[in-house]
A and B are shown apart, each in its own frame.
Chain A
Amino acid sequence: MATPIHTSTAALKAGKKLSNEEILRYSRHLIMPEVGMEGQLKLKAAKVLLIGTGGLGAPLGLYLAAAGIGKLGLVDFDVVDFTNLQRQVTFGTSDVGKAKSEAARARLSNLNPDIEIEAFETKLTSENAPELFKDFDIIVDGTDNFPTRYLVNDACILLGKPNVYGSIFRFEGQITVFGMPDGPCYRCLYPEPPPPGLVPSCAEGGVLGVLPGIVGSIQAMETIKLILDRGRNLTGRLLLFDALEMAFSEVKLRKNPNCPLCGENRTIHKLIDYNEFCGVRGEEAPAPDLKVPEITPRQLKVRLERGDRLFILDVREPHEYQICNLRGHLIPLGELPRRVHELDSSQEIVAHCRSGKRSAEAVEFLRKAGFRKIHNLKGGILAWSDEVDSSMPKY
Chain B
Amino acid sequence: MSVKVMIPTPLRPHADGKAAVEFQAKSVAEALDQLTAQYADLKKHLFTEEGSLRSFVNVYVNGEDIRYLAQENTPTKDGDTIKIIPSIAGGSVTPTTTENPFGAVLQN
B100 touches which one: A143, A167, A194, A242 (CB < 8 A)? A194
> Could you tell me the distance between the alpha carbons of A52 and B89 in the complex, rounded to whole angstroms?
13
B interface residue numbers (CB < 8 A to A): 8-10, 13, 19, 44-45, 54-56, 58, 60, 63-65, 68, 83, 85-107
Beta-carbon contact of A145 and B89 below 8 Å: yes
A to B CB contacts below 8 Å, 15 in the list = A88-B92, A144-B92, A144-B93, A144-B94, A146-B89, A190-B87, A196-B106, A198-B100, A204-B95, A205-B105, A207-B93, A242-B9, A251-B60, A251-B85, A253-B65
1/0 per residue, CB under 8 A from B, across A110-152: the answer is 0000000000000000000000000000000111111101000
> Could you tell me the distance between the alpha carbons of A242 and B84 in the complex, rounded to whole angstroms?
13
Beta-carbon contact of A197 and B100 below 8 Å: yes
> Could you tell me the distance between the alpha carbons of A205 and B102 in the complex, rounded to whole angstroms?
9
Supplied contacts A143-B92, A205-B96, A251-B60, 18 more A-B pairs, CB within 8 Å: A55-B92, A56-B92, A83-B95, A144-B94, A145-B104, A169-B90, A189-B58, A191-B55, A193-B104, A195-B100, A198-B101, A202-B98, A202-B100, A202-B101, A205-B98, A242-B9, A249-B83, A251-B85
Collect the chain B residues with CB atoms within 8 Å of residue A84's CB: 92, 94
- Kindly name the residue among B64, B87, B92 whose own CB sees the greatest number of chain A CB atoms within 10 A: B92
Known: A144-B92, A205-B96. A252 touches B105 (CB 8 A): no
Whether A281 sits at the interface, judged by CB under 8 Å, is yes
Collect the chain B residues with CB atoms within 8 Å of residue A171's CB: 9
Known: A190-B58, A198-B100. A251 touches B91 (CB 8 A): no
Known: A54-B91, A149-B89. A252 touches B64 (CB 8 A): yes
> Could you tell me the distance between the alpha carbons of A88 and B54 in the complex, rounded to whole angstroms?
33
Beta-carbon contact of A251 and B88 below 8 Å: no
Beta-carbon contact of A169 and B88 below 8 Å: yes
A interface residues, how many (CB within 8 angstroms): 61
Whether A373 sits at the interface, judged by CB under 8 Å, is no
Beta-carbon contact of B87 and A194 below 8 Å: yes
Beta-carbon contact of B88 and A357 below 8 Å: no
> Could you tell me the distance between the alpha carbons of A321 and B100 in the complex, rounded to whole angstroms?
21
Collect the chain B residues with CB atoms within 8 Å of residue A167's CB: 88-91
Collect the chain B residues with CB atoms within 8 Å of residue A351's CB: none
Beta-carbon contact of A56 and B97 below 8 Å: no
> Could you tell me the distance between the alpha carbons of A192 and B87 in the complex, rounded to whole angstroms?
9
Known: A170-B103, A201-B101, A251-B60. A144 touches B95 (CB 8 A): no
Closest chain B residue, CB of each to CB of A216: B91
Beta-carbon contact of B91 and A194 below 8 Å: no
A interface residue numbers (CB < 8 A to B): 52, 54-57, 83-84, 87-88, 141-147, 149, 166-172, 174, 189-199, 201-207, 212, 238, 240, 242, 244-245, 249-254, 278, 280-281, 355, 357, 395
Closest chain A residue, CB of each to CB of B12: A244
B49: min CB distance to chain A, Å: 11
Beta-carbon contact of A54 and B92 below 8 Å: yes
Collect the chain A residues with CB atoms within 8 Å of residue B44's CB: 199
Collect the chain A residues with CB atoms within 8 Å of residue B93's CB: 55, 144, 168-169, 205-207
Instruction: Please report whether the interface of chain B is mostly helix, strand, loop or mixed according to DSSP.
Output: loop
Beta-carbon contact of B83 and A251 below 8 Å: yes
Beta-carbon contact of B13 and A203 below 8 Å: yes
Collect the chain B residues with CB atoms within 8 Å of residue A212's CB: 91-92
Beta-carbon contact of B87 and A197 below 8 Å: no
> Could you tell me the distance between the alpha carbons of A168 and B86 in the complex, rounded to whole angstroms?
11
Collect the chain A residues with CB atoms within 8 Å of residue B58's CB: 189-190, 251
Beta-carbon contact of A169 and B92 below 8 Å: no
Collect the chain A residues with CB atoms within 8 Å of residue B13's CB: 203
> Could you tell me the distance between the alpha carbons of A170 and B101 in the complex, rounded to whole angstroms?
12
Collect the chain A residues with CB atoms within 8 Å of residue B102's CB: 169, 194
Beta-carbon contact of B19 and A355 below 8 Å: no
Collect the chain A residues with CB atoms within 8 Å of residue B45's CB: 199
> Could you tell me the distance between the alpha carbons of A144 and B90 in the complex, rounded to whole angstroms?
4
Beta-carbon contact of A168 and B85 below 8 Å: no
A18: min CB distance to chain B, Å: 33
Beta-carbon contact of A244 and B19 below 8 Å: yes
B14: min CB distance to chain A, Å: 9
Closest chain B residue, CB of each to CB of A280: B106
B65 touches which one: A57, A199, A252 (CB < 8 A)? A252
> Could you tell me the distance between the alpha carbons of A124 and B103 in the complex, rounded to whole angstroms?
21
Beta-carbon contact of A196 and B56 below 8 Å: no
Collect the chain A residues with CB atoms within 8 Å of residue B104's CB: 145-146, 193-194, 196
Closest chain B residue, CB of each to CB of A55: B92
B92 touches which one: A142, A146, A194 (CB < 8 A)? A142
